[in-house]
C-alpha cells in the first residue's frame, strides 16, 4: 500500500511539474492577477510539488507523518485542479489549452486514489510511536543540504513561474 501511495505522489508531482507557467503546456496569461497573489499561488504549487516528492520518499519508509502529508497533498491536488477546470481560480483571459485540461484531469483522477490509500493506510496503522526523523535520515548534514536544495529550487521555480505567467520573462529566456 505504501508503494502505491509513493507512486501516486510521484505521478502527481510529475504532472504538476509539466504545468509550470512558461513551459510547453501552461502558457496562459495571468497578468490580470496581482503579482503578490500570483507569487503566493506559485509558492503554494511549488511547495505542493516538492512536498509530494519528499512525502513519496518517506511514505515508502512507512513514516506516519508522510502519510498525513500525502493525504494533504492529494486533497490539495484535487482542489487545485477542480478550481482550475471549473475556471474559478486562477482566471485568465487566455483560453485553457486542451493538453492542459487533459493533464489537469489526469491529476484530478490521480488525486482521488491518493486520498483513499492515505486514509486507508492511516487507519490501519497501529498506535505505535512514530520513530524519530533520524531513523529515516541518518545525517543532519543530509537534512540541511536537502532543505537548502529544495528552498533554492523552489525560489527559482516561483520566480520563473510568476514572471512567465505575467508575460515578463526577459527575451533571452523565451
Burial 93-127 (b: 16+ CB within 10 A, else e): eeeeeeebeebbeebbebbeebbebbeebeeeeee
Task: Report the pLDDT averaged over residues 110-121.
Answer: 97
More confident residue, 99 or 169: 99
> What span, in angstroms and rounded, lies between the C-alpha atoms of 158 and 164?
10
Lowest-confidence segment of 16-20, 30-34, 36-40, 123-127 by average pLDDT: 123-127
Lowest-confidence segment of 3-7, 41-45, 131-135 by average pLDDT: 131-135
Distance between first and last Cα of the chain: 42
More confident residue, 174 or 55: 55
Residue range 37-53, pLDDT digits in tens: 988 998 999 999 999 99
132 pLDDT above the threshold of 80: no
- 138 class by beta-carbon count within 10 Å (0-12 exposed, 13-18 middle, 19+ buried): exposed
Residue range 103-112, pLDDT digits in tens: 999 999 999 9
Highest mean pLDDT out of 60-74, 97-111, 114-128, 141-155: 97-111
More confident residue, 15 or 39: 15
pLDDT tier at 167 (50, 70, 90 boundaries)?
confident
DSSP the chain: -HHHHHHHHHHHHHHHHTT-TTSSS-----TTS-HHHHHHHHHHHHHHHHHHHHHHHHHHTT-HHHHHHHHHHHHHHHHHHHHHHTT-SS--SSPPPHHHHHHHHHHHHHHHHHHHHHHHHHHHS-SPPPPPGGGT---HHHHHHHHHHHHHHHHHHHHHHHHHHTT---TTT-
In this prediction, residue 45 carries a pLDDT of: 93
In this prediction, residue 158 carries a pLDDT of: 86
Query: Residue ranges of the domains in the chain?
Result: 2-165
pTM of the entire structure?
A: 0.84
pLDDT tier at 76 (50, 70, 90 boundaries)?
very high
Cis peptide before 21 (omega within 30 of 0): no
Amino acid at each position: 500500500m505504501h508503494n502505491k501511495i509513493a507512486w501516486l505522489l510521484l505521478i502527481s508531482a510529475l504532472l504538476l511539474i509539466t504545468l509550470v507557467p512558461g513551459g510547453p503546456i501552461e502558457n496562459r496569461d495571468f497578468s490580470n492577477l496581482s503579482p503578490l497573489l500570483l507569487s503566493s499561488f506559485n509558492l503554494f504549487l511549488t511547495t505542493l510539488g516538492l512536498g509530494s516528492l519528499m512525502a513519496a520518499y518517506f511514505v515508502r519508509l512507512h513514516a506516519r507523518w508522510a502519510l498525513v502529508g500525502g493525504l494533504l497533498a492529494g486533497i490539495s491536488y484535487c482542489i487545485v485542479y477542480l478550481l482550475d477546470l471549473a475556471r474559478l481560480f486562477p482566471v485568465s483571459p487566455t483560453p485553457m489549452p486542451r493538453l492542459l485540461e487533459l493533464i489537469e484531469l489526469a491529476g484530478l483522477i490521480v488525486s482521488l486514489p491518493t486520498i483513499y490509500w492515505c486514509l486507508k493506510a492511516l487507519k490501519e496503522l497501529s498506535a505505535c510511536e512514530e520513530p524519530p526523523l533520524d531513523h529515516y535520515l541518518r545525517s543532519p548534514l543530509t537534512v540541511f543540504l536537502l532543505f537548502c536544495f529544495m528552498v533554492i529550487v523552489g525560489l527559482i521555480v516561483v520566480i520563473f513561474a510568476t514572471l512567465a505567467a505575467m508575460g515578463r520573462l526577459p527575451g533571452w529566456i523565451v
